[in-house]
Amino acid sequence: MIGARARFPAWLVALAILLGACAPAIRLDAVATGQPTSAISSVPSAADGTAAAPQQTTLPAPAPGPASVPTPAPAPQAFALNLYQEGDFVPQYTFDWCVAASIQMAHNLIDDTGGGTWTASAHQGELWEMARARSSNSFNGANPFGWAQVLTEVGMGPYKVVSIADYGDALRTAARAIADTDRPVGLVMWSGRHAWVMSGFESLGDPAQFPEFTVTGIRVQDPLYPYGSGQWGPSPAPNSLLTPEQLATQFVAREPRRWSSDLPTGYLLVLPTAPA
Protein backbone atom coordinates (compact mmCIF):
# COMPACT_ATOMS: atom_id res chain seq x y z
CA MET A 1 0.00 0.00 0.00
CA ILE A 2 2.80 2.36 0.75
CA GLY A 3 4.37 1.73 -2.69
CA ALA A 4 1.08 2.55 -4.53
CA ARG A 5 0.84 5.95 -2.91
CA ALA A 6 4.37 6.75 -4.05
CA ARG A 7 3.58 6.09 -7.76
CA PHE A 8 0.35 8.22 -7.83
CA PRO A 9 1.99 11.57 -7.31
CA ALA A 10 4.48 10.83 -10.07
CA TRP A 11 1.67 10.14 -12.48
CA LEU A 12 0.01 13.47 -11.66
CA VAL A 13 3.25 15.31 -12.25
CA ALA A 14 3.64 13.74 -15.68
CA LEU A 15 0.06 14.70 -16.62
CA ALA A 16 0.64 18.30 -15.55
CA ILE A 17 3.75 18.54 -17.69
CA LEU A 18 1.86 17.19 -20.72
CA LEU A 19 -0.98 19.68 -20.32
CA GLY A 20 1.47 22.57 -19.93
CA ALA A 21 3.13 21.74 -23.22
CA CYS A 22 -0.20 22.11 -25.08
CA ALA A 23 -1.04 25.64 -23.69
CA PRO A 24 -0.49 28.72 -25.95
CA ALA A 25 2.59 30.80 -25.37
CA ILE A 26 2.18 33.95 -23.31
CA ARG A 27 4.27 37.10 -23.95
CA LEU A 28 6.60 37.87 -21.15
CA ASP A 29 5.69 41.53 -21.11
CA ALA A 30 2.04 40.63 -20.72
CA VAL A 31 2.84 38.44 -17.82
CA ALA A 32 4.98 41.14 -16.31
CA THR A 33 2.38 43.84 -16.53
CA GLY A 34 -0.69 41.78 -16.14
CA GLN A 35 -2.22 43.39 -19.24
CA PRO A 36 -3.89 41.34 -21.96
CA THR A 37 -2.13 41.06 -25.30
CA SER A 38 -3.24 43.40 -28.11
CA ALA A 39 -5.37 41.75 -30.73
CA ILE A 40 -4.58 42.22 -34.47
CA SER A 41 -7.69 42.97 -36.53
CA SER A 42 -8.12 40.78 -39.51
CA VAL A 43 -8.39 42.42 -42.97
CA PRO A 44 -11.59 41.38 -44.77
CA SER A 45 -10.98 39.42 -47.91
CA ALA A 46 -12.71 39.75 -51.25
CA ALA A 47 -14.69 36.90 -52.73
CA ASP A 48 -11.64 35.65 -54.67
CA GLY A 49 -9.56 35.51 -51.56
CA THR A 50 -7.50 38.67 -52.18
CA ALA A 51 -7.29 41.26 -49.51
CA ALA A 52 -9.75 44.10 -50.03
CA ALA A 53 -8.36 47.62 -50.13
CA PRO A 54 -9.03 49.62 -47.02
CA GLN A 55 -12.02 51.88 -47.40
CA GLN A 56 -11.37 55.66 -47.52
CA THR A 57 -13.86 58.23 -46.37
CA THR A 58 -14.42 61.03 -48.97
CA LEU A 59 -14.96 64.45 -47.45
CA PRO A 60 -17.75 66.51 -49.00
CA ALA A 61 -16.60 69.32 -51.34
CA PRO A 62 -16.93 72.82 -49.88
CA ALA A 63 -20.08 74.62 -50.90
CA PRO A 64 -19.42 77.10 -53.75
CA GLY A 65 -19.51 80.76 -52.90
CA PRO A 66 -21.93 83.19 -54.53
CA ALA A 67 -21.30 83.54 -58.28
CA SER A 68 -19.98 86.93 -59.39
CA VAL A 69 -22.51 88.83 -61.47
CA PRO A 70 -20.95 90.67 -64.47
CA THR A 71 -21.60 94.38 -64.64
CA PRO A 72 -24.05 95.02 -67.51
CA ALA A 73 -22.81 97.16 -70.36
CA PRO A 74 -24.22 100.70 -70.34
CA ALA A 75 -27.18 101.21 -72.62
CA PRO A 76 -26.84 103.87 -75.33
CA GLN A 77 -28.57 107.13 -74.45
CA ALA A 78 -29.91 109.95 -76.59
CA PHE A 79 -27.11 112.19 -77.86
CA ALA A 80 -27.17 115.47 -79.82
CA LEU A 81 -24.58 117.79 -81.32
CA ASN A 82 -25.28 120.92 -83.37
CA LEU A 83 -22.76 123.49 -84.62
CA TYR A 84 -25.43 125.87 -85.88
CA GLN A 85 -25.90 129.35 -84.44
CA GLU A 86 -28.21 132.08 -85.60
CA GLY A 87 -26.71 133.86 -88.60
CA ASP A 88 -24.67 130.91 -89.90
CA PHE A 89 -27.01 130.23 -92.83
CA VAL A 90 -26.17 131.80 -96.20
CA PRO A 91 -28.36 131.44 -99.31
CA GLN A 92 -26.86 130.85 -102.73
CA TYR A 93 -27.15 134.06 -104.74
CA THR A 94 -27.47 132.28 -108.09
CA PHE A 95 -28.83 128.88 -108.96
CA ASP A 96 -25.24 127.74 -109.69
CA TRP A 97 -23.47 128.81 -106.53
CA CYS A 98 -24.59 126.11 -104.09
CA VAL A 99 -21.01 124.90 -103.48
CA ALA A 100 -19.76 128.45 -102.78
CA ALA A 101 -22.65 129.15 -100.40
CA SER A 102 -21.92 125.84 -98.63
CA ILE A 103 -18.28 126.91 -98.20
CA GLN A 104 -19.43 130.18 -96.62
CA MET A 105 -21.76 128.31 -94.26
CA ALA A 106 -19.00 125.87 -93.30
CA HIS A 107 -16.81 128.82 -92.30
CA ASN A 108 -19.60 130.34 -90.23
CA LEU A 109 -20.30 127.03 -88.48
CA ILE A 110 -16.64 126.59 -87.58
CA ASP A 111 -16.06 130.20 -86.48
CA ASP A 112 -18.36 130.54 -83.49
CA THR A 113 -17.15 134.04 -82.58
CA GLY A 114 -19.62 135.69 -84.95
CA GLY A 115 -17.09 138.33 -85.86
CA GLY A 116 -16.07 137.00 -89.25
CA THR A 117 -19.30 135.74 -90.78
CA TRP A 118 -19.10 135.09 -94.51
CA THR A 119 -22.27 136.24 -96.24
CA ALA A 120 -21.29 138.64 -99.04
CA SER A 121 -22.46 137.92 -102.56
CA ALA A 122 -19.19 139.08 -104.14
CA HIS A 123 -17.21 136.78 -101.87
CA GLN A 124 -19.50 133.89 -102.73
CA GLY A 125 -18.76 134.50 -106.40
CA GLU A 126 -15.03 134.38 -105.71
CA LEU A 127 -15.37 131.08 -103.87
CA TRP A 128 -17.38 129.73 -106.77
CA GLU A 129 -14.63 130.57 -109.22
CA MET A 130 -12.05 128.95 -106.95
CA ALA A 131 -14.07 125.74 -106.66
CA ARG A 132 -14.80 125.60 -110.37
CA ALA A 133 -11.10 126.06 -111.23
CA ARG A 134 -10.28 123.05 -109.02
CA SER A 135 -13.02 120.81 -110.39
CA SER A 136 -12.23 118.53 -113.32
CA ASN A 137 -14.93 117.10 -115.60
CA SER A 138 -17.49 119.29 -113.85
CA PHE A 139 -19.63 120.41 -116.80
CA ASN A 140 -18.26 123.94 -116.33
CA GLY A 141 -19.34 123.96 -112.70
CA ALA A 142 -17.92 123.05 -109.31
CA ASN A 143 -17.87 119.43 -108.20
CA PRO A 144 -17.20 117.89 -104.74
CA PHE A 145 -13.45 117.70 -105.34
CA GLY A 146 -13.24 121.45 -105.94
CA TRP A 147 -15.48 121.96 -102.89
CA ALA A 148 -13.16 119.91 -100.64
CA GLN A 149 -10.02 121.56 -102.01
CA VAL A 150 -11.25 125.10 -101.40
CA LEU A 151 -12.31 124.24 -97.85
CA THR A 152 -8.79 122.96 -97.22
CA GLU A 153 -7.02 125.88 -98.89
CA VAL A 154 -8.93 128.61 -97.04
CA GLY A 155 -8.04 127.10 -93.65
CA MET A 156 -10.98 124.86 -92.78
CA GLY A 157 -9.42 121.57 -93.85
CA PRO A 158 -8.32 119.07 -94.47
CA TYR A 159 -11.41 117.81 -96.23
CA LYS A 160 -11.75 114.86 -98.59
CA VAL A 161 -14.46 113.34 -100.77
CA VAL A 162 -15.63 109.83 -99.84
CA SER A 163 -18.24 107.51 -101.34
CA ILE A 164 -20.00 105.09 -98.97
CA ALA A 165 -22.19 102.35 -100.37
CA ASP A 166 -24.49 101.88 -97.36
CA TYR A 167 -26.83 104.69 -96.33
CA GLY A 168 -26.65 103.97 -92.58
CA ASP A 169 -22.86 103.80 -92.72
CA ALA A 170 -22.78 107.12 -94.56
CA LEU A 171 -24.84 108.81 -91.82
CA ARG A 172 -22.66 107.34 -89.07
CA THR A 173 -19.49 108.39 -90.89
CA ALA A 174 -20.75 111.95 -91.25
CA ALA A 175 -21.94 112.17 -87.63
CA ARG A 176 -18.70 110.70 -86.28
CA ALA A 177 -16.66 113.21 -88.31
CA ILE A 178 -18.63 116.13 -86.84
CA ALA A 179 -18.20 114.75 -83.31
CA ASP A 180 -14.47 114.16 -83.79
CA THR A 181 -13.57 117.48 -85.49
CA ASP A 182 -16.31 120.00 -84.55
CA ARG A 183 -16.60 120.81 -88.26
CA PRO A 184 -19.53 120.36 -90.64
CA VAL A 185 -19.87 117.77 -93.39
CA GLY A 186 -20.81 118.46 -97.00
CA LEU A 187 -23.66 116.34 -98.40
CA VAL A 188 -23.68 115.80 -102.15
CA MET A 189 -27.40 115.82 -102.92
CA TRP A 190 -29.60 114.91 -105.84
CA SER A 191 -27.21 112.23 -107.12
CA GLY A 192 -24.39 114.75 -107.52
CA ARG A 193 -26.31 117.86 -108.61
CA HIS A 194 -26.62 119.94 -105.43
CA ALA A 195 -24.80 120.78 -102.18
CA TRP A 196 -26.09 120.83 -98.62
CA VAL A 197 -24.27 121.22 -95.31
CA MET A 198 -24.77 118.83 -92.40
CA SER A 199 -24.28 120.94 -89.28
CA GLY A 200 -25.24 118.43 -86.59
CA PHE A 201 -27.10 115.27 -85.69
CA GLU A 202 -29.04 113.39 -83.06
CA SER A 203 -28.36 109.77 -82.27
CA LEU A 204 -28.97 106.88 -79.94
CA GLY A 205 -25.55 106.56 -78.35
CA ASP A 206 -22.53 108.84 -78.18
CA PRO A 207 -20.24 108.09 -81.17
CA ALA A 208 -17.24 108.27 -78.83
CA GLN A 209 -18.62 105.39 -76.73
CA PHE A 210 -20.73 103.30 -79.11
CA PRO A 211 -19.16 102.48 -82.49
CA GLU A 212 -22.51 101.16 -83.75
CA PHE A 213 -24.57 104.17 -82.65
CA THR A 214 -27.73 104.94 -84.60
CA VAL A 215 -28.32 108.31 -86.25
CA THR A 216 -31.91 109.39 -85.59
CA GLY A 217 -31.82 112.98 -86.87
CA ILE A 218 -29.74 115.14 -89.24
CA ARG A 219 -29.32 118.93 -88.98
CA VAL A 220 -29.11 120.42 -92.48
CA GLN A 221 -28.57 123.71 -94.29
CA ASP A 222 -29.83 123.88 -97.88
CA PRO A 223 -28.50 127.05 -99.58
CA LEU A 224 -31.35 126.89 -102.11
CA TYR A 225 -33.95 127.57 -99.40
CA PRO A 226 -36.75 128.58 -99.84
CA TYR A 227 -37.00 127.47 -103.46
CA GLY A 228 -36.45 123.74 -103.51
CA SER A 229 -36.79 121.49 -106.56
CA GLY A 230 -39.78 120.30 -108.50
CA GLN A 231 -38.11 116.92 -108.94
CA TRP A 232 -36.46 116.41 -105.55
CA GLY A 233 -38.80 118.26 -103.23
CA PRO A 234 -38.86 121.41 -101.10
CA SER A 235 -35.84 122.88 -99.37
CA PRO A 236 -35.89 122.45 -95.59
CA ALA A 237 -35.63 125.60 -93.50
CA PRO A 238 -32.21 126.45 -92.04
CA ASN A 239 -31.23 124.25 -89.11
CA SER A 240 -34.01 121.75 -89.83
CA LEU A 241 -33.79 118.38 -88.12
CA LEU A 242 -34.66 115.68 -90.64
CA THR A 243 -35.21 112.02 -89.97
CA PRO A 244 -33.06 109.60 -91.96
CA GLU A 245 -36.14 108.75 -94.01
CA GLN A 246 -36.79 112.41 -94.85
CA LEU A 247 -33.17 113.04 -95.81
CA ALA A 248 -33.14 109.93 -98.03
CA THR A 249 -35.66 111.49 -100.42
CA GLN A 250 -32.97 113.95 -101.59
CA PHE A 251 -29.69 112.44 -100.35
CA VAL A 252 -29.34 109.53 -102.75
CA ALA A 253 -26.48 107.45 -104.11
CA ARG A 254 -24.49 109.10 -106.88
CA GLU A 255 -23.43 107.11 -109.93
CA PRO A 256 -20.11 107.75 -111.72
CA ARG A 257 -21.85 108.73 -114.97
CA ARG A 258 -22.66 112.16 -113.50
CA TRP A 259 -18.98 113.20 -113.58
CA SER A 260 -15.82 111.22 -114.03
CA SER A 261 -13.95 110.01 -110.96
CA ASP A 262 -12.49 106.88 -109.47
CA LEU A 263 -15.08 106.81 -106.71
CA PRO A 264 -17.55 103.90 -106.74
CA THR A 265 -21.30 104.38 -106.64
CA GLY A 266 -22.40 105.51 -103.21
CA TYR A 267 -23.45 108.36 -100.94
CA LEU A 268 -20.95 111.20 -101.36
CA LEU A 269 -19.61 113.15 -98.38
CA VAL A 270 -17.22 116.11 -98.28
CA LEU A 271 -15.66 114.96 -95.03
CA PRO A 272 -13.42 116.69 -92.46
CA THR A 273 -10.63 114.30 -91.58
CA ALA A 274 -8.53 116.00 -88.89
CA PRO A 275 -8.73 119.01 -86.57
CA ALA A 276 -8.34 122.28 -88.43
* Residue 47 confidence (pLDDT): 47
pTM of the model: 0.73
Contact status, residue 165 vs residue 263, Cβ threshold 8 Å: no
What's 155's DSSP letter? I
| Domain chopping of the chain, boundaries | 78-272
* 163-184 confidence digits (pLDDT tens): 999 999 999 999 999 999 999 9
CATH class name, domain 78-272 = alpha beta
- H helix intervals, 24-141: 28-33, 98-110, 121-133
**Mean pLDDT across the chain, nearest whole number?**
82
Contact status, residue 186 vs residue 102, Cβ threshold 8 Å: yes
How would residue 262 be classed by pLDDT, with cut points 50, 70 and 90?
A: confident
* 86-96 confidence digits (pLDDT tens): 999 999 999 99
Q: Hey, which residues does 78 pair with through a beta bridge?
A: 204
pLDDT > 70 in the chain, percent = 72
Of the candidates 200, 220, 204, which has an alpha carbon nearest to the alpha carbon of residue 212? Answer: 204
